[in-house]
């Protein structure tokens, strides 16, 4: 199976490339960093350029699109928004025209709560799931929300099989020893969430390779099964979100985000907990 991984030189992309190769996939890495090397199966390309997208996606069975400006505050908002929209649209368009049947791409928990938030973040119920209303509060978050609409559109109108992965806070191997952590004294504290970077990479690979209905769009949170803070989850809800409805019997430090969709759709079960 030939998979194109964009954002291949980024934090998650680099881990994903190694993981997918270890599973036997033929992987072409693409990123705008440095210059390419056919020996390393890496091509340097700016994916805001539509023609470059067509070139690198040719012959692929799936693309996992991680290339993006990966947060707010690094560049002017307009640049972040325009870059992310251009990359996402170009990748989906090229896949549709070239017959690349599966597109997986990185959305973000920031569609539900943006960091830092401009207004109080409200949750109607817990565990949070994909049916909960979103509230993007930055151009970065907006680019992720609109990317989900693009994924939906290309599934519906072009028959692509698309997967939007709402990554939670992806914890690198270097940061892992610092968890669990104390809760910050901020009343706008967003719900705690995380996923180990190796779990995140495995989720991408599963989303690209597991059987899914042709022409479907799957939207799924990618999260650990517990929180990464030292406050029990019920206490946390009572303190920060007292009006939210409790839709499940959340115990101990259990996650406030449901992982059911990712498990049912493509078999993703996280293997890492910061408490084990
Ligand atoms: N890290 C997290 O906690 C997290 C959480 C939610 C969502 N995400 C999303 O996951 C994806 C990967 O995140 P990451 O943490 O690895 O970020 P990262 O910044 O480490 O990697 C992103 C990569 O995209 C590349 N890129 C940027 N613009 C490009 C362009 N025009 N053409 C080609 N490549 C380009 C960058 O060079 C970089 O290597 C991003 O889409 C990000 O928004 C990450």
For residue 180, say if its preceding peptide bond is cis, omega within 30 degrees of 0. yes
- Examine residue 245 and state whether it is found in any structural domain, yes or no: no
Ligand 1 nearest-atom number relative to CA 12: 16
The alpha carbon of 28 and the centre of ligand 1 are apart by a number of angstroms equal to 16
Task: Give the domain extent around 98.
Answer: 2-116+128-173+194-225
The answer to whether the CB of 106 is under 6 A from ligand 1 is yes
| pLDDT band at residue 266 using 50, 70 and 90 as cut-offs | very high
Judged against a pLDDT cut of 70, whether residue 188 lies above it is answered with no
- Examine residue 47 and state whether it is found in any structural domain, yes or no: yes
The alpha carbon of 150 and the centre of ligand 1 are apart by a number of angstroms equal to 18
| pLDDT band at residue 191 using 50, 70 and 90 as cut-offs | confident
The alpha carbon of 105 and the centre of ligand 1 are apart by a number of angstroms equal to 11
Instruction: State both tokens at 73.
Output: 């505050």
List the residue whose alpha carbon is closest to atom 28 of ligand 1: 68
Q: Using one digit for the tens of pLDDT, what is the confidence trace for 112-124?
A: 988 888 888 889 9
- Examine residue 19 and state whether it is found in any structural domain, yes or no: yes
Neighbours of 197 (CB within 10 A): 22
| Closest-CA residue to 219 (of 141, 138, 270, 152) | 152
The answer to whether the CB of 82 is under 6 A from ligand 1 is no
Q: Using one digit for the tens of pLDDT, what is the confidence trace for 199-242?
A: 999 999 999 999 999 999 999 999 999 999 999 999 999 988 89
Q: How many CA atoms lie within 13 A of 46 on its CB side?
A: 3
- Examine residue 248 and state whether it is found in any structural domain, yes or no: no
Which pLDDT score is estimated for 187? 58
Q: Using one digit for the tens of pLDDT, what is the confidence trace for 8-26?
A: 999 999 999 999 999 999 9
The answer to whether the CB of 274 is under 6 A from ligand 1 is no
| Closest-CA residue to 227 (of 256, 258, 263, 260) | 256
The alpha carbon of 10 and the centre of ligand 1 are apart by a number of angstroms equal to 6
What are the φ/ψ torsions at residue 79 (nearest 5 degrees)? -65, -40
- Examine residue 233 and state whether it is found in any structural domain, yes or no: no
Residue with tokens 């078999």: 267
| Closest-CA residue to 81 (of 138, 136, 140) | 140
- Examine residue 82 and state whether it is found in any structural domain, yes or no: yes
The alpha carbon of 165 and the centre of ligand 1 are apart by a number of angstroms equal to 13
| pLDDT band at residue 182 using 50, 70 and 90 as cut-offs | confident
- Examine residue 159 and state whether it is found in any structural domain, yes or no: yes
The answer to whether the CB of 7 is under 6 A from ligand 1 is yes
The answer to whether the CB of 147 is under 6 A from ligand 1 is no
Instruction: State both tokens at 104.
Output: 């997986």
CATH of the domain at 144: 3.40.50.720
- Examine residue 262 and state whether it is found in any structural domain, yes or no: no
Ligand 1 nearest-atom number relative to CA 83: 31
List the residue whose alpha carbon is closest to atom 26 of ligand 1: 67
Return the percentage of the chain with pLDDT > 70, whole number.
97
Report the alpha-carbon distance of residue 10 to residue 7 in Å, rounded.
5
| pLDDT band at residue 36 using 50, 70 and 90 as cut-offs | very high
Burial string for 65-93 (b: 16+ CB within 10 Å, else e) reads: bbbbbbebeeeeeeebbbbbbbbbbbbbb
Count of structural domains within the chain: 1
Return the percentage of the chain with pLDDT > 90, whole number.
90
Which pLDDT score is estimated for 183? 81
The alpha carbon of 47 and the centre of ligand 1 are apart by a number of angstroms equal to 12
Give, for ligand 1, the residue of 4, 6, 10, 195 to mutate: max count of ligand atoms closer than 8 Å to Cβ: 10
List the residue whose alpha carbon is closest to atom 12 of ligand 1: 66
Q: Using one digit for the tens of pLDDT, what is the confidence trace for 126-168?
A: 999 999 999 999 999 999 999 999 999 999 999 999 999 999 9
Which pLDDT score is estimated for 189? 61
């Amino acid at each position: 199976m030939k998979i194109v991984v964009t954002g291949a030189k980024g934090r998650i992309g680099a881990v994903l490339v190694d993981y997918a190769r270890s599973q036997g996939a033929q992987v072409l890495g693409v990123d705008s960093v440095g210059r390419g090397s056919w020996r390393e199966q890496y091509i340097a390309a700016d994916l805001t350029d539509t023609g470059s997208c067509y070139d690198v996606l040719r012959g692929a069975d799936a693309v996992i699109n991680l290339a993006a400006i990966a947060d707010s505050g690094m560049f002017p908002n307009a640049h972040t928004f325009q870059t992310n929209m251009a990359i996402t649209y170009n990748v989906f368009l090229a896949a549709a025209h070239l017959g690349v049947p599966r597109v997986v791409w990185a959305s973000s928990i920031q569609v539900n709560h943006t960091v830092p938030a401009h207004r109080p973040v409200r949750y109607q119920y817990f565990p949070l799931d994909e049916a909960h209303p979103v509230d993007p509060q930055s151009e970065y978050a907006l680019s992720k929300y609109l990317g989900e609409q693009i994924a939906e559109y290309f599934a519906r109108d072009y028959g692509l099989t698309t997967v939007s992965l709402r990554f939670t806070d992806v914890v690198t191997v270097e940061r892992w020893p610092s968890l669990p952590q104390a809760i910050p004294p901020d009343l706008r504290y967003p719900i705690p969430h995380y996923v180990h970077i190796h779990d995140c990479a495995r989720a991408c690979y599963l989303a690209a390779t597991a059987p899914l209905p042709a022409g479907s769009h799957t939207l799924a949170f990618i999260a650990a099964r517990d929180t990464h803070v030292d406050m029990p989850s019920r206490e946390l809800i009572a303190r920060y979100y007292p009006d939210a409805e409790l839709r499940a019997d959340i115990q101990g430090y259990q996650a406030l985000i449901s992982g059911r969709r990712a498990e049912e759709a493509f078999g993703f079960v996280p293997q890492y907990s910061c408490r084990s």
